[in-house]
């Protein structure tokens, strides 16, 4: 297991690297040289620092996050797993290549995971395999509407509201973008010219790859291009998925209000399951302590748009898996 380094114990330049480049990775032939120029570092030192942070588990990759259900299909799913089966069921779930996040949370529905696939039929087949292998019902909660899905929040200083999201322009997406998107979810090579390396691998030119990444980011197909941080590894370990039971006609107003609250890091509407899961509005709160996260929740519950809404805070207690999305089947 890799060592965990709280944010306050990070080297100051490492902290700046994480804080200032979670998005807006310079889309130039030598992005790490550009980062170095901003931080007063040589290109080689930026690459060395990123490689060390990745090896330590502090960052997942330098790459991008892809907006759900644009280039592929995805869902948030849950299982109600008996305590004595947690390890075996988590292993079954994690063995699926399309499962890119898997967490144990404080609720009867305790094992939560994000499943991604190149298309809807592959996603459905994956959920069927998990249900058959575990003998458990899979709660399938498809995304309805995103209010904020950009997890690149500032790690130091006062909490700030996240930037309001805007809809993706799906018309920008091309069939030949999928190899680029898959490469970005897996991570760029930490070399002086990572876009050239990617271009050579997929038979494109460096300029063409950079141009497509820029177009996809502008269209919000890519929700963020930069350093993908593992928040738990640097002390943001009190992470609560807060779910809210609201009538459909209140969610349109409640979602933006909740997403604009400092400390709320994700906010979106998902499908409900009548009689089983009535919570249609989801939000994430990342805190460095449980008390900090609960204080944000108190402010959220006091919002007029959420007045009287029943809610639950599902704190994560264990991370089983955290990787990039599966958008294209590749050779094993």
Number of domains forming the structure of the chain? 2
Q: Among the three residues 213, 231, 249, which one is the final residue of a domain in this structure?
A: 231
If one compares 39 and 4, the residue with the highest pLDDT of the two is: 39
Question: Would you call 53 helix, strand, or coil by DSSP?
Answer: helix
In a domain, 79, yes or no: no
Quickly state the pLDDT bin for 78 (edges 50, 70, 90): very high
Residue 64 and residue 169 share a domain = yes
Round to whole Å and give the CA distance between 142 and 75.
Answer: 5
243 and 319 co-located in one domain: yes
Average pLDDT over residues 226-255: 92
Is pLDDT at 195 greater than 60 in this prediction? yes
Same domain flag for 190 and 241: no
- The pLDDT score that the predictor gives to residue 130 is 98
For range 33-39, the mean pLDDT: 97
Q: How far apart are CA 307 and CA 292, in angstroms?
A: 21
pLDDT digit string, tens, across residues 138-166: 999 999 999 988 777 777 766 767 677 78
pLDDT(64) > 60: yes
CA distance 28 to 155: 26
**75-95 as b/e: b if 16+ CB within 10 A:** bbbbbebeeeebeebbebbee
Domain boundary among 207, 231, 255: 231
- So what's the pLDDT on residue 150? 75
Clarify whether residues 195 and 316 are in a common domain. no
Average pLDDT over residues 43-56: 97
- Domain membership of residue 188 (yes or no) is yes
* pLDDT score for 329: 63
State the average pLDDT over residues 237-259.
Answer: 95
Give Cα 222 to chain centroid, integer Å.
12
**pLDDT of 69:** 86
Structural domain containing residue 34: 7-68+164-231
Buried b (16+ CB within 10 A) or exposed e, 274-313: eeebebbbbbbbbbbeeebbbebbeebbeeebbeebebeb
Residue 41 placed within a domain:
yes
Q: Which pLDDT value is given to residue 152?
A: 72
Which residue has tokens 């909660």? Answer: 141
Residue 280 lies in a domain: yes
> Which pLDDT score, from 0 to 100, does residue 330 have?
56
> For 82-107, how does the pLDDT look when each residue is reduced to its tens digit (9 = 90+)?
999 999 999 999 999 999 999 999 99
Picking from 125, 56, 105, the residue whose alpha carbon sits closest to that of residue 326 is 125
Asked whether residue 187 is assigned to any structural domain, the reply reads yes
Torsion of CA 325, 326, 331, 332, to 10 degrees: 60
**Percent above pLDDT 70 for the chain:** 94
Within-domain flag for 316: yes
Measured distance between the N- and C-terminal CA atoms of the chain, rounded to whole angstroms: 24
pLDDT mean across residues, the chain: 91
Residues 277 and 293 in one domain: yes
Q: Identify whether residues 282 and 205 lie together within a single domain.
A: no
Tell me if 248 is assigned to some domain: yes
Residue that wins the pLDDT comparison between 164 and 201: 201
**If you average pLDDT over residues 309-315, what whole number do you get?**
97
- Whether residue 270 has pLDDT greater than 90: yes
Q: Are 314 and 243 in contact (CB under 8 A)?
A: yes
pLDDT at residue 54, as a whole number: 95
Judged by DSSP in three states, 130 sits in helix
pLDDT at 126 over 70: yes
User: Is pLDDT at 1 greater than 70 in this prediction?
Assistant: no
What CATH number is given to the structural domain containing 187? Answer: 1.10.10.2890
Instruction: Check whether residue 176 and residue 54 sit in a common domain.
Output: yes
Q: What pLDDT is attached to residue 10? A: 82
Residue 62 sits in the same domain as residue 177: yes
> Do 170 and 316 belong together in one domain?
no
Which CATH number does the domain housing residue 243 bear? 3.30.70.3460
Do 244 and 225 belong together in one domain? no
Tell me which residue of 59, 66, 65, 80 sits closest to 15, measured CA to CA.
59
Average of pLDDT values for 12-20?
92
Neighbouring CB atoms inside 10 A of 176's CB total 12
What one-character-per-residue DSSP string does 134-150 give? Answer: HTS--EEE-EEEEEE--
Query: What is the rounded CA–CA span in Å between residue 308 and residue 302?
Result: 9
Residues 217 and 242 in one domain: no
- The verdict on 175 and 52 lying in the same domain is yes
| pLDDT(332) > 50 | no
The tokens for 111 are 């094992």
Q: Point out the domain boundary residue: 216, 231, 246.
A: 231
DSSP 156: S
Residue 133 lies in a domain: no
pTM attached to this predicted model: 0.86
Supply 197's token pair. Answer: 């390396």
**Does residue 3 surpass a pLDDT of 50?**
no
- Predicted confidence (pLDDT) at residue 235 exceeds the cutoff of 50: yes
Q: State yes or no: pLDDT of 4 exceeds 50.
A: no
């Amino acid at each position: 297991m890799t060592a965990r380094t709280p944010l306050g114990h990070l080297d100051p330049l490492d902290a700046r690297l994480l804080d200032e480049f979670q998005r807006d990775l310079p889309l130039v032939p030598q992005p790490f040289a550009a980062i170095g120029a901003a931080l007063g570092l040589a290109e080689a030192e930026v690459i060395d620092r990123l490689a060390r942070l990745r090896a330590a588990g502090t960052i997942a990759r330098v790459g991008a996050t892809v907006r759900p259900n644009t280039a592929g299909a995805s869902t948030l799913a849950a299982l109600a797993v008996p305590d004595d089966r947690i390890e075996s069921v988590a292993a079954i779930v994690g063995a699926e290549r399309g499962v890119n996040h898997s967490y144990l949370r404080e609720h009867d529905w305790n094992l939560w995971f994000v499943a991604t696939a190149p298309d809807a039929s592959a996603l459905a087949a994956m959920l069927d395999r998990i249900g058959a292998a575990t003998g458990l019902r899979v709660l399938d909660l498809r995304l309805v509407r995103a209010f904020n899905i950009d997890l690149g929040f500032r790690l130091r200083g006062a909490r700030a509201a996240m930037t309001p999201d805007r809809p993706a322009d799906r018309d920008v997406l091309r069939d030949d973008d999928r190899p680029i998107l898959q490469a970005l979810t897996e991570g760029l090579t930490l070399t002086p010219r990572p876009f050239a390396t990617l271009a050579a691998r997929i038979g494109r030119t460096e300029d063409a790859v950079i141009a497509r990444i820029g177009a996809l980011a502008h269209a919000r197909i890519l929700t963020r291009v930069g350093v993908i941080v593992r928040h738990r590894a640097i002390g943001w370990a009190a992470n609560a998925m807060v779910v809210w039971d609201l009538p459909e006609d209140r969610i349109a107003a409640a979602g933006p209000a909740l997403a604009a609250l400092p400390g709320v890091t994700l906010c979106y509407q998902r499908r409900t399951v009548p009689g089983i899961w009535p919570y249609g509005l989801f939000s994430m709160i990342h805190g460095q302590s449980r008390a900090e996260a609960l204080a944000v929740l108190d402010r959220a519950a006091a919002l007029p748009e959420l007045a009287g809404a029943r809610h639950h805070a599902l704190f994560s207690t264990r991370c089983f898996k955290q990787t990039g999305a599966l958008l294209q089947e590749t050779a094993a």
